[in-house]
Amino acid sequence: MEAKVFSVKGEELRTIELEDSVFNCEISDGTIYYAINNELANMRVGTACTKDRDEVSGSTAKPWSQKGTGRARAGRKRSPLWVGGGVVFGPKPRDYSYKMPKKMKRLAMKSILSQKVLGGKFKVVEDFTIESGKTKDIAAVLKNLVPAERTVLILKDDDAMIKRAGRNIPWLTFLSYNRLRAHDLFYGKNVLALESAALGLNDFYKE
Q: Domain for residue 196, yes or no? A: yes
Residue 43 CA, chain-centre distance (Å), reads 8
Q: Domain for residue 72, yes or no? A: yes
> Where do the DSSP E strands lie in the chain?
2-6, 12-17, 122-125, 151-155, 172-176, 190-194
| Confidence class for position 1, pLDDT limits 50, 70, 90 | confident
CB 41 within 8 A of CB 98: yes
| Same domain, residue pair 77 and 114 | no
Q: Domain for residue 13, yes or no? A: yes
| Same domain, residue pair 21 and 70 | no
Residue 81 CA, chain-centre distance (Å), reads 41
pTM of the model: 0.85
Cα–Cα distance list, 186 to 33, 66, 137 (Å): 10, 62, 27
| Same domain, residue pair 56 and 152 | no
| Same domain, residue pair 118 and 191 | yes
Give the Cα separation of 17 and 6 in Å (integer): 14
Query: Which structural domain, as residue segments, surrounds residue 195?
Result: 2-26+109-205
* pLDDT tens for each residue of 82-126: 999 999 999 999 999 999 999 999 999 999 999 999 999 999 999
Q: Domain for residue 154, yes or no? A: yes
Q: Domain for residue 12, yes or no? A: yes
